[in-house]
Amino acid sequence: MHRTLEEIQMNSKKIFKGDLKVYFPLFTLLLVLFLNDRLVYVTAFAIFSALSIYSAGKEYLRLLRIPLYFVIPSALIIAFFIPGKSVGFPLPVNPSEEGLKLASEVLVRSFSAISIFFFLILTTMITEIFSAFKKLKLPDFVVEISLLIYRNVQVLYDELERLERAANSRLGFNGFKNFVRTSSLLAYSLFIKSLERAEKVEMAMESRCYSGKMPTYSENSSGFLLAFLITASLLLIHLTG
């Protein structure tokens, strides 16, 4: 049975509660990017992947497939088109050592950030994010743009589910060649369809008199000890790595 992202958010196990479940992932994302340490990237990916699987189960793995259509091809392009000393693989065209190093850096950096962001997506309703942002006294246009981006991620996820079911019903993933062909078509269709769905969502919001203002949500925060332990672990790995 197909579950929407809103249903997953409502039914997920809440490790953090209140505004902390918004502030902590965002703080950790900034911390990981600031430390700029490959071992920290890998550790953050492992921690938040485990938290996401505990909270939402296999839905995290299903959601993780979305960036694969974009990050993996980008890394391959970097590996093969960055000039440098060629790697001696028995291939017609070989990647460069500099390209492989940069591609691996992009992969671990991207997936560490993605795992943190997906944990936020899978466990936090849009009203909770809105409430937390409003308490930070951010400008209204920043809050509205953030909410629209967040909402479009949900639209992208639902659209991928629909396209994948259609491809499976036509045996589009039967065999390696069909898998590669269907995956490339899905990546293209996902981009086009997501734009169309985003326009429909905007029209639906306007028809319901949406003016950029939403009701706020308030809940007492909890989970500070775990948040402290995760932050301390990332800092310790960076200092001792």
Q: Residue 212: its pLDDT value, please?
A: 59
Within 13 Å and on the Cβ side, how many CA atoms surround 36?
Answer: 1
How does residue 70 score in pLDDT terms, banded at 50, 70 and 90? confident
Q: Is 60 exceeded by the pLDDT of residue 1?
A: no
**Strand partners of residue 53:** none
Q: Is 90 exceeded by the pLDDT of residue 135?
A: no
The CA-atom distances, in angstroms, between 158 and each of 151, 174, 213 are: 11, 23, 25
pLDDT (mean) for 33-38:
89
List pLDDT tens digits, range 177-229.
777 777 777 777 777 777 777 777 778 777 777 665 665 667 788 889 999 99
Domain map (residue ranges) of the chain: 1-125+218-241, 126-216
Rounded Cα distance, 185 and 233, in Å: 41
Residues 6+ apart with CB under 8 A from 15: 21, 51, 54, 55, 123, 223, 226
The CA-atom distances, in angstroms, between 241 and each of 79, 178, 198 are: 26, 43, 43
pTM, two decimals, is 0.71
pLDDT (mean) for 52-68:
86
CA nearest to 186, candidates 59, 70, 58, 78: 70
How does residue 25 score in pLDDT terms, banded at 50, 70 and 90? very high
Would you give the DSSP letter of residue 85?
Answer: P
How does residue 88 score in pLDDT terms, banded at 50, 70 and 90? low
Q: Is 90 exceeded by the pLDDT of residue 9?
A: no
Q: Is 96 helix (H, G, I), strand (E, B) or coil?
A: strand
